[in-house]
Chain A
Amino acid sequence: MSGLSRLVVTLTLITLGAGLLLSLVESLTRAPIAEQRRLETLRALQTVLPPFDNNPDADSIALVIGQDKKGRDLERTFYRGRLNGVISGIAFTVVAADGYSGNISMMVGVDPAGTVSGLEILSSAETPGLGDKITRSEFKSQFKGKTLDGVDWRVRKDGGDFDQITGATISPRAVVKAVHQGLLFFRDHRRELLIDGGNQ
């Protein structure tokens, strides 16, 4: 074999072997990875929703919440928890893009009237020891029971009703704002989300 063709053949064979190995591993891990992601969603749903006895991840509605820069629709999934067939609460994810570092993704649960039943931070990259205290239950629990009316949706430093964290105001501010916007969207689309909320 001449010099160049030997290089080409060797490299092709190596990448071929690598491709075969990777497709094998991918097919083996595909189901467990999907299951892990589903479990993660379910765990979050369990903490934010009022008691339910159905599978909220199988009873979901996707609504268009806006357009991205290219004009494509952005969708948000609403998971509906039911107790004895009646909707007991609805959960949805909101993303705050104005945290201290990167996006803060969280799941908000509300009861059918729009009162917050729970908040869970799904992923965040806030500063360890400071901003990442938004993942502590002391911070998250203050959202429980809050409604749109009669609550000032700002942190205390800005004159609102939510405790910030000492040394880190940016992260709590971003969370409060994102939850507030999520609630506003919920109020505007409540009818569509609860449309088959009665007894099935």
Chain B
Amino acid sequence: MSLYQEFKRGLWKENAVFRLLLGLCPTLAVTTSAENGLGMGLATTFVLVGSNVVVSLLRRLIPSKVRIPAFIVIIASFVTVVQLCMEAYFYDLYKALGIFIPLIVVNCVILGRAEAFASKNSLLPSLVDGLGMGTGFTLALFVLGAVRELFGSGALLGYSVLGSSYQPFLLMILPPGAFIAMGLLLAAMNRFDARRR
């Protein structure tokens, strides 16, 4: 498979959120606005690319019996790096995402890619795989956050778009809205795929 296809796979066909339904805990929890979704997606992408690269480089050195603890140590290190950097340089985003940054460690997408891809492939494909999966994850969170923000507060990226006469549909920002928006987006994607076939 070419590198381009490797990258494209994570965007739609194996999209972590909408196709594999992985990493739904942070997905549902932080997507109350497009900005939060984008920030969480980018943080996850950084961890994903970093852990994929390191796991791929060390894949011949790590004995298979201790591969899971080794992967988790690598992933947790990258998450801590992201957390410290975000607190130092993007303080507002850090406050908005709060507890969900450390929880990137247990995002199944990251361990999943380390185990299923990076531990079996060389550096470049692993890097591209991390980029593709991360971009797909970021896009999914951004779209979900945008839909919820639009209906839940009538705004997009903090700018009011539906005007002041719009009565916000609060449920979309509350936890049930995450499930409803997710379900509707999934249904739309399935319909699109079924049509194309």
**Contacts A40-B91, A129-B153: A25 and B84 contacting too (C-beta < 8 A)?**
yes
**Is A10 a contact of B70 with CB atoms below 8 Å?**
yes
Question: Would you call A10 and B61 a contact (CB within 8 A)?
Answer: yes
Assess whether A25 is in contact with B91, with CB atoms less than 8 Å apart: no
CB distance from B160 to the nearest CB of A (A): 14
Closest to A127 in B: B174
Least distance between B180 CB and chain A CB atoms (Å) = 15
| Contact status of A22 and B63, CB under 8 A, knowing A11-B69, A33-B88, A127-B174 | no
Counting contact residues on chain B (CB < 8 A from A), the size range is 20 to 34
Contact in complex: B77, A21 (CB < 8 Å): yes
The one of A11, A18, A21 in contact with B66, judged by C-beta atoms closer than 8 angstroms, is A11
B74, A14: Cβ atoms closer than 8 Å:
yes
Interface of A is mostly: helix
A128 contacts the other chain (Cβ, under 8 Å)?
Answer: yes
Q: Mark B51-68, 1 if CB is under 8 A from A, else 0.
A: 000000010011101100
Given contacts A128-B174, A130-B170, contact A25 B80 (CB under 8 A): yes
Is the pair A32, B88 in contact by a Cβ cutoff of 8 Å?
yes
Q: Which of B81, B88, B168, B173 has the most CB of A within 10 A?
A: B88
Question: In this assembly, does A69 line the interface, its C-beta being within 8 Å of a C-beta of chain B?
Answer: no
CA distance A170 to B152 in the complex (A): 22
| Given A10-B62, A18-B76, A128-B173, A29:B152 Cβ within 8 A | no
Complex-state Cα separation, A130 to B61, whole angstroms = 53
Residues of B within 8 A of A75 (CB): none
Could you tell me the distance between the alpha carbons of A14 and B88 in the complex, rounded to whole angstroms? 26
Q: A7-B65, A40-B91, A129-B170 are in contact. List 20 more A-B contacts (CB 8 A).
A: A7-B66, A10-B61, A10-B63, A10-B66, A14-B62, A14-B70, A18-B73, A18-B76, A25-B84, A26-B84, A32-B88, A33-B87, A33-B88, A36-B88, A127-B174, A128-B152, A128-B153, A128-B173, A129-B152, A129-B153
Please report A residues at the B interface, Cβ cutoff 8 Å: 3, 6-7, 10-11, 14-15, 18, 21-22, 25-26, 29, 32-33, 36, 40, 123, 127-130
State the B residues within 8 Å of A (CB).
32, 58, 61-63, 65-66, 69-70, 73-74, 76-77, 80-81, 84-85, 87-89, 91, 95, 152-153, 168, 170, 173-174
